Amino acid sequence: MDNTKCLDAGPNEDLECVVCCYEYSHTHRTPRLLHCGHTFCVPCLDKLANVDGVIRTISCPLCRWITCTAATQTLPQTLWVNAEIWNQVAEKEQRKRRTDRKEVPLGGLNKKPMRPTFLDSNHAVLKSAFLKMFTAHQQRLPAS
């Protein structure tokens, strides 16, 4: 049997654990990589794990590869997060959050009270004054 052929999960199944069929999340069902390269959620890995003394073995349900980890450490401490899935979950959760925030008004736009008449009549004067200040400041900079 060829173990390298086992990375064949379709793109649609990527975001859910093939054992429990639940979608991965950043909190409870984090996607973790076994040493064979297959990814499962932490609750399923916990169920698959066999602890024997200080060794925890997890037999991959897809390819039967046995992953050994230290039983003294938790699964999240010993197994890598599948970053690809993690990032896709992040995008999904961010999109969800963005739509939730729709009704929140944009901050910062109304911070300055608008005085259009003042600005219009003094715009050129202000601009040249500002430019003078700015260039003067810049010229002073290297001296300090």
* Interface with Zn ion (CB under 5 A): 17, 19-20, 36, 38, 41, 44, 60, 62-63, 65
**How far is it, in rounded angstroms, from Cα 102 to Cα 47?**
40
Nearer to Zn ion by C-beta: 65 or 92? 65
CB of 5 to Zn ion, least distance (A): 11
Place of tokens 């979950």: 89
CB of 59 to Zn ion, least distance (A): 9
Q: Are 14 and 82 in contact (CB under 8 A)?
A: no
Q: How far apart are the two ends of the chain, measured CA to CA in Å?
A: 73
Nearer to Zn ion by C-beta: 20 or 55? 20
CB of 32 to Zn ion, least distance (A): 10
Q: Are 34 and 11 in contact (CB under 8 A)?
A: no
